[in-house]
Structure 1
Amino acid sequence: MRSYLRLELVRGFRNPVGLVMLTVFPLGLYLLWTKVLDVVPQGQVGDFAAYTMVSMATYGAMGGALFVGGAIALERSKGWLGQLAVTPLPAHGYVTAKLLGGATGVLPGILVMLAAGALLSGVRLPFGTWPALVVLIWVGVLPFAALGIAFGYTMKGQSANLAMMAVYFGLSVLGGLWLPVPAMPEGMRTLAEYSPAYQAGSLGWRALEGRPPTLTSLAVLAAWTLLFCALAVWRYRRAV
C-alpha cells in the first residue's frame, strides 16, 4: 500500500492543468468580489476579505478533492482497474491511497489563495492562524475526496465529470461558500448547516475569529467522510 500511496501523491502534482484551473478560478472569484465589485459591507473591508479568502480557498480545495473521480473514470476506461485487481492491494487500501492523494493535491491551491489574501487584499492575521488555516481547510475537504472516488466508480467518462460538476456547485452554494448562510432563507439555512461544504468552511471561518472547531463541525465532517468512504469501497468492489 505504501508504494501505491507514494504513486498517488506524486501523480497529484503532475497534473498542471488541473492544478491551475482549480487555483485560478477561485482566485479570480476572490479578486472579483474583493477588488472589482462593490459588495463589501461598510466598514468591514478587512473582515470581508478574510472571510472570502477562506471561502474561496475551501471552494477550490473542494473541487480539487472531488475531481479525483474524473481521473478514476479515466483509469477505468484504460483498464487500470483490471490490473489492480490481480494485486494484493485491498479495497480499503486503494480508497485510502486515493483519498490521501486527492486531498494532498489541493494544498498548492490553498497556499495560493491565502497568499493572495495577505499580499493582494492586506489580510492580517496572527502568525499561528495561517498554518492553522491550511490544516483546517485541508481536513475539511477530505469528505469530498471520498465522494469523488465514489463518483469515479459509479459513472464513466463525461457523465462522471458532469455529475461531479453539478454536485460541486450545488454544495458550494448550499454551504455558504458563495453566499453567506445567514443571507439564505430559513429553511435553506437549516439544511446548509448539515452540509459538508458549510462545515468545511466553518473550520476556517472560526479560525479567523481565534476560535477552535466545534464538536458539531467535526462530527458532521467525520460522518460524511465515513459515509463517502464506505460508498467508495462498495463501488470499488462492485467495479472489480
Structure 2
Amino acid sequence: MKMTLAYVKFEILEAVRIPAVFIGLLFMPAGGMLVFVVPTLGDDPRAATMGTASMCLFAVLIICSAQYGMGIADARMKPWGGYVRTLPGGPVPRMVSMVTLSMLMTLLGAIPLVLVAAVATRADASLPELLLGMGAVLLAVIPFALLMLAIGYAVNPYLVATLTSIAPLVLVVLGGLLADPRSTDGFIAVIAPYTPVRGSAELVWAAVGGYTPQPTSLIAQGVWTLALAFLAYRAYRADEGRRFR
C-alpha cells in the first residue's frame, strides 16, 4: 500500500509540473458539448442528460488516450522513463497510480461539462443521480485506462500517438455513444454491445437517465476488462524484457 501511495504521489506531482497539457484535455470535451450536444439536444431534458453523460465518457477516453498512450510512448523513448521502470514495486503499483490519476482528472474534467449542461441545456438530474453517474464514470476509467496501457506498451512508440488519437473516436462511434441509446436497428446497434465502451456507457445512462442496461453489454464489459488487464500486464512485462535484458 505504501508503495502504491508513493507512486500516486509521483504521478500527481509529474502531472502538476506541466499543467497546460492537462488543462487542454479537461476543457476539450466541453467544446464538444457546445458543438454537438447544446445545439441538437439542449431543448430535450432527457436527451440532454444522456448526451452529457456520453460526453463525460468521451472525456475519459481523451484523458486516458493522452495520459497512457502518448505519455507512455514519450516515457519509453526517454532516459527518465527507463529510470522510473527500474524503481521497486513492479507494474501493479505503477498501473494503479496511473488509474488513480485518471480518476482525479475525470472528476476535474466533468466539472465544465456539468456546468455547460446546467447553463446551456435543459438537462435534468437530481443530486443522487449526479453522484451515482459520476461513480459510474469513474468505473469506466478502469477498462479505458487498461486499453490505452496495453496499446502504449505493446506498440512501437512512434505509432502509439496515432493509434491512441484515433481509438477514442472509433470507440465512441462503434459503442453507439453518438446515437440514440434505445435504438435497436442498424449496424451500430448490432455491434455496440460487444465493444469495450458500451457496458460502461449503459451504467452511466442508467444512473442519470433511467436507462436499463443490457446483460450482453455488461457481460462483454467484464470480459473486456479482464482481458485488457491481462494484455496490459503482459505488454508492460514484454516491453520491460526488451529494454532491460
Question: Shared fold by TM > 0.5?
Answer: yes
Deviation at 1:34, TM superposition (A): 3.9
Aligned to 2:170: 170
Deviation at 1:54, TM superposition (A): 0.7
Query: How many angstroms apart in 2 are the aligned matches of 1:24 and 1:86?
Result: 34
Matches of residues 64-103 of structure 1 in structure 2 within 5 Å? 64-67=63-66, 68-103=68-103
Given the two structures, how large is their TM-score scaled by the length of structure 1? 0.85
Query: How many angstroms apart in 1 are the aligned matches of 2:135 and 2:75?
Result: 29
Query: How many angstroms apart in 1 are the aligned matches of 2:86 and 2:195?
Result: 38
Aligned to 2:191: 191
CA distance 1:162–1:45, change in 2 (3 Å): same
Aligned to 2:205: 205
Between 1:205-214 and 1:230-239, the stretch displaced more is: 205-214
Deviation at 1:9, TM superposition (A): 3.4
Aligned to 1:31: 34
* Secondary structure of the corresponding residue to residue 179 of structure 1: coil
Aligned to 1:8: 11
CA distance 1:15–1:135, change in 2 (3 Å): farther
RMSD: 2.6
Query: How many angstroms apart in 2 are the aligned matches of 1:96 and 1:89?
Result: 11
Contact between 2:37 and 2:52, CA under 8 Å: does it hold in 1? no
Aligned to 2:48: 49
Contact between 2:199 and 2:213, CA under 8 Å: does it hold in 1? no
Instruction: Describe the superposition over 1:10-54 as per-residue Cα deviations: whole angstroms up to 9, x where unpaired.
Output: 434554334333333322222223443xx349xx61112111111
Deviation at 1:103, TM superposition (A): 3.4
CA distance 1:74–1:52, change in 2 (3 Å): same
CA distance 1:178–1:15, change in 2 (3 Å): farther
Aligned to 1:236: 236
* Secondary structure of the corresponding residue to residue 124 of structure 1: coil
Aligned to 1:61: 60
Contact between 1:140 and 1:221, CA under 8 Å: does it hold in 2? no
Given the two structures, how large is their TM-score scaled by the length of structure 2? 0.83
CA distance 1:35–1:188, change in 2 (3 Å): closer
Aligned to 1:144: 144
Deviation at 1:181, TM superposition (A): 4.9
- Percent of pairs with identical residues: 23
CA distance 1:107–1:4, change in 2 (3 Å): same
CA distance 1:214–1:13, change in 2 (3 Å): farther
Aligned to 1:109: 109
CA distance 1:232–1:40, change in 2 (3 Å): closer
Greater share of residues in helix: 2
Q: Where does the alignment leave 5 or more consecutive residues of structure 1 unmatched?
A: none
